[in-house]
Amino acid sequence: MAAVRPFATLSSPQQVLDRQGLRQPYPNGRVIVLDDDINTFQHVVECLVRIIPAMTPDRAWELAHRIDGSGSAEVWSGPLEQAELYHQQLGAEGLTMAPLERG
């Protein structure tokens, strides 16, 4: 009959990973649309309402005016993966996009 061995133990505390040290906040992204001489207010508004979740037409018009007046506007911020998707979709519609910002 084979002898039963106790569970193996770690040889040093350094081998134990601190789970708290592994957790990092999920990165966020900021989606910023730039002013251009190509897109109409109507096109910008339609794209924002169609692509950005919960975007209302009134809010989209406010953002379109901010883009026109200030040269740019943050249209969405949140988890980086979603920000990348919205950035890509708005760019594919012809909107002029600032590089995706992390933060």
Structure tokens at 24: 């990092």
For residue 63, which of 78, 80, 81, 46 has the smallest C-alpha distance?
A: 46
pLDDT in tens, 27-84: 999 999 999 999 999 999 999 999 999 999 999 999 999 999 999 999 999 999 999 9
CB 76, CB 86: distance < 8 Å: yes
Residue 24: predicted pLDDT: 78
Cα 81 to Cα 100: distance, rounded to the nearest angstrom: 11
DSSP secondary structure code for residue 101 in this structure: E
Q: Is residue 94 over pLDDT 90?
A: yes
For residue 29, which of 71, 96, 75, 81 has the smallest C-alpha distance?
A: 81
What pTM does this model have? 0.77
pLDDT in tens, 20-42: 556 778 899 999 999 999 999 99
Residue 4: predicted pLDDT: 60
Query: Count of CB atoms within 10 A of residue 85's CB?
Result: 15
